[in-house]
Structure 1
């Protein structure tokens, strides 16, 4: 699933392509929004919040989308073959005279009043990539999770929004923490969250996340050379893989 860095980069690209421009095409191929017409509306801004994308218009409405596991957006020159968006996988098209944004395999799509955005994202924890990230609030929510494994708390969007399996694994590796350490036994959860935040920020700037453990099962650890292992966080059907080094992140028990 795309994580907070991908959504922030997508929002930035939307802002460059659509921000301040009037739509000449609007095609929302979604059951609850199929009759919504945004043609003529001016795009005020697009912002990300965790793994959510919010595109706001001058009539007080917001298009909310979530990529889920397979979704992605592409931007093409209006009038180009790519902008035709004829694929059955397309779920949304927004276009100005110059640029067309096409959403494929989107997992969520809503059109709501901008003042009602909280009904969609109000349950989430602080946005990890917000300029004024509320670490105190994230720590309060962390503490409420008790003995839940640290990896699962990092993945919990109601604690802090934007971390997925990549940054959960990489931040735990950076701090040499066994992923299944009970959350209430992590000595410095604020430091762990700050590491994840810095990693996300670097990925936004560089276009790539850290590559120390995630996706490297059986490959040698960059620190100690021992093969990277992979375990599971959460229970089916919400399970997620967590990659870690059995030596650098040994079980303290």
Structure 2
């Protein structure tokens, strides 16, 4: 699933291409919106909210989309047919005289009045890359379920919006915290939240996502997707296990030495 910085960058690039320009090409290829036509309107802005993309028009209408696991927006010059994915994967097109934005396999497409956006994103916690970012509120949200494992709590977008599975694993390693540690057992929860925002902001302006600061391809991450490889700190082999209840369980990665077992014992890798 795309992380919050990827969604932020997507919205930023869409904003640069669409904002302030009159819509000349508009097509939503989902049954409930197939007759919608916003040609002749002007895009005022495109913003991200957590992992949601909101494209706002001067009529007061907002096009909502979510990338989920496999969605993407692709920009091409007007008049050029994008070739990133097959035609049948297209769900949305918003274009003007200069640019064409094509949404491939984007999900949860809805047209709502801007005043009703909260119906779609109002449940989210403070956005790590948004103007509403609030460390104290994010910490308070996490502490509402003190017995919940920190690995699951960080992924809950109702607590703070933008962290995905990669950043969750990396943040916990950098803070030497086992993923199964209860929230109440986390040492310096505010510092963990501050680190999360720092990492997303550090990576938001480019598609590459790195947390280690180490040069070279393959050195981007501490533990994420490195199962069986030696820990970059202590050389212990990285392990993985599912965390959470089906169907929402996610694979988590950790170093057994740098992130020792918490009060809640993780499954055997």
With the length of structure 1 as denominator, give the TM-score of the two structures. 0.96
1:29-178 alignment runs, 5 A limit: 29-82=29-82, 87-178=87-178
**Distance (whole Å) between structure 1 residues aligned to residue 250 and residue 70 of structure 2:** 15
1:239 aligned residue: 249
Deviation at 1:139, TM superposition (A): 1.5
With the length of structure 2 as denominator, give the TM-score of the two structures. 0.91
**Distance (whole Å) between structure 1 residues aligned to residue 7 and residue 237 of structure 2:** 31
Is the CA contact (8 Å cut-off) linking 1:83 and 1:102 kept in structure 2?
no
1:219 aligns with 2:226: no
**Secondary structure of 2:31's aligned partner:** coil
Is the CA contact (8 Å cut-off) linking 1:77 and 1:83 kept in structure 2?
no
Is the CA contact (8 Å cut-off) linking 2:9 and 2:206 kept in structure 1?
no
Is the CA contact (8 Å cut-off) linking 1:85 and 1:102 kept in structure 2?
no
Deviation at 1:219, TM superposition (A): 1.2
**Distance (whole Å) between structure 1 residues aligned to residue 86 and residue 235 of structure 2:** 48
Deviation at 1:131, TM superposition (A): 3.7
Is the CA contact (8 Å cut-off) linking 2:25 and 2:93 kept in structure 1?
yes
1:116-168 deviation per Cα after TM superposition (whole angstroms, max 9, x unaligned): 10000001111111244111211221111121000000000000011010111
Q: For residues 113 and 85 of structure 1, do their structure 2 counterparts lie closer, same or farther at Cα, with a shift above 3 Å needed? A: farther
**Distance (whole Å) between structure 1 residues aligned to residue 58 and residue 122 of structure 2:** 22
1:172-200 deviation per Cα after TM superposition (whole angstroms, max 9, x unaligned): 01100001100111121111111111111
Deviation at 1:67, TM superposition (A): 0.7
**Distance (whole Å) between structure 2 residues aligned to residue 31 and residue 64 of structure 1:** 15
The runs of 5 or more residues in structure 2 that have no matched partner are 212-220, 264-269
Q: CA RMSD in A?
A: 1.5
Deviation at 1:31, TM superposition (A): 2.1
**Distance (whole Å) between structure 2 residues aligned to residue 102 and residue 83 of structure 1:** 10
Is the CA contact (8 Å cut-off) linking 1:179 and 1:244 kept in structure 2?
yes
1:198-219 deviation per Cα after TM superposition (whole angstroms, max 9, x unaligned): 1111111343222111111111
Deviation at 1:246, TM superposition (A): 1.1
**Distance (whole Å) between structure 1 residues aligned to residue 61 and residue 180 of structure 2:** 42
**Secondary structure of 2:205's aligned partner:** helix
**Distance (whole Å) between structure 2 residues aligned to residue 84 and residue 10 of structure 1:** 15
**Secondary structure of 1:217's aligned partner:** coil
1:251 aligned residue: 261
**Secondary structure of 1:166's aligned partner:** helix
1:174-185 alignment runs, 5 A limit: 174-185=174-185
